[in-house]
Amino acid sequence: MSEFAGRSAIVTGGARGIGAAVAAALAKEQLGVMIADLLEPDGTAVAAALGPRAAFRHLDVTDEHEWQRVIDAAEAEFGPLAVLVNNAGIVDFGTIESERPGLFRHVIDVDLYGAWLGMHNAVPRMRVAGGGVIVNVSSTAGLTGYAGISGYVAAKWGLRGLTKAAALELGAANVRVCSVHPGPIHTAMTAEMDESVTAAQPLPRFGEPEEVAAMVRFIVTEATFSTGSEFVLDGGATAGQFLVLPGGNEGSSGDAEP
């Protein structure tokens, strides 16, 4: 029997894309999965497809009262909280000069403050239950910089640091905290990107939500000696600087001039 039998998981942004794939993966581990999202029709459909081990609740991740209601509902329906996947995220495009301050702040609120608020409310429940696992879905934008999405980059770097701080605080409570750093993944957020985005990667393609979900499942079920760790899924994009060498052969070097 799975160690998670009789316990619950919460997946934010679980109504589609990476979140929906993660919910499906965790449901296979006998966890009761609470899909938490603003997108009620999509979230309800995902929960229905997963059957009696899943349910949907509306969640604005920046609202502490909604967090408390979602955690209460997850535990009432499926048992003590074992897993929290902070996946909800948004992006806004604009330079530092052109972006409106309110939009920058909104990205920080959803992508970083929302994850902190989830942890703030989930950790006491995990302590009572004897432990748990928190997976924060960051990005390669939390490992390097990208122009034109400064709020997203700032939030994802912040989420990476928050993960490490939480891991240091919570190890004694048997709560592991790790971050996942996907590159371009086929989701609604990347729908307007073409294949040129990934052309220079060692693996020149977009990733799939199910590949990220497999990594999250691994962290939860197998990586039992990992906490404060970063797990990267980017086709090798952050492994180095990719360029075309003389003669047309592609290579990489951390030292070569572009």
User: Do 231 and 215 meet the contact criterion of CB atoms below 8 Å apart?
Assistant: yes
Cα dihedral sign, 205-217-141-191: positive
Cβ contacts of 29 within 8 Å, gap of 6 or more: 2, 4, 217, 220, 221
Catalytic one among 67, 152, 157, 231? 152
SS3 of 183, please? coil
Identify whether 152 is a catalytic site residue.
yes
User: Do 110 and 62 meet the contact criterion of CB atoms below 8 Å apart?
Assistant: yes
Q: Name the burial class of residue 166, with classes exposed (0-12), middle (13-18) and buried (19+) by CB atoms within 10 angstroms of its CB.
A: buried
Active site positions, annotated: 152
